[in-house]
Homo-oligomer: A and B are copies of this chain.
Amino acid sequence: MELRDRILEAAAQVYSETGFRGATTRRIAERAHVNEITLFRHFGSKTRLLHEAIQCASSSTPCILPAQSANPRAELRIWALANHREMFERRFLIRTAMGEMEERPDIFPMDRSQAVCAGLELKAYLERLQTEHLIAAEIDLRAATTMFMGTLFADAISRDILPSMYPDPPEISVDQYLDLFARALALKEPSS
């Protein structure tokens, strides 16, 4: 089904740009090069179409941190870059959905969002490192996780809006964040 996917993609795009109210069926149909009526025949209503489109557009295959950590710093770097990239690519959708969270809390499943799942995974990974004494025992890993995820999240959704605050490309910024993060955690490399 090529047409159905084209509609869903167009709907997600238009929603990301203009929000629920701005995403008129006419605009979506134009973007998908499809007759407006086709939308209703396929999805019944604008609400159902947008729900499905957003669900599709926000689903992703998470980047997984390894269970056995050989090189924490390098592993964290790959993971952080992948997660930053995911969020950055979806920044329009994330910003719009967050702005409409009060009015339409159900349209974007925030509880199982990229950021939350990634945060849980990072925390589990850091806890493993802590039991291996590669991270100082007195560190509060929940706060550390929240801090690092918050840094990545803020970067991903703000860097195109505030270029003066984010002059470096993501690869360099993420490296800098990791430098500071490793210092905060007193992160050691495994001695194996």
Which residues from chain A sit less than 8 Å from chain B, CB to CB?
A: 17-19, 21-22, 92, 95-103, 110-111, 116, 119, 139-140, 143-144, 146-147, 149-155, 157-158, 161-162, 164-166, 173, 176-177, 179-181, 183-186
A157: nearest chain-B partner, CB-CB? B98
The CA of A173 and the CA of B154, in the complex, are separated in Å by: 17
The CA of A111 and the CA of B57, in the complex, are separated in Å by: 30
Copies in the complex: 2
Residues of B contacting A146 in the complex (Cβ-Cβ under 8 angstroms)? 151, 155, 165-166, 173
B17–A164 CB distance below 8 A:
no
Given contacts A19-B19, A99-B98, contact A143 B183 (CB under 8 A): no
A164–B111 CB distance below 8 A:
yes
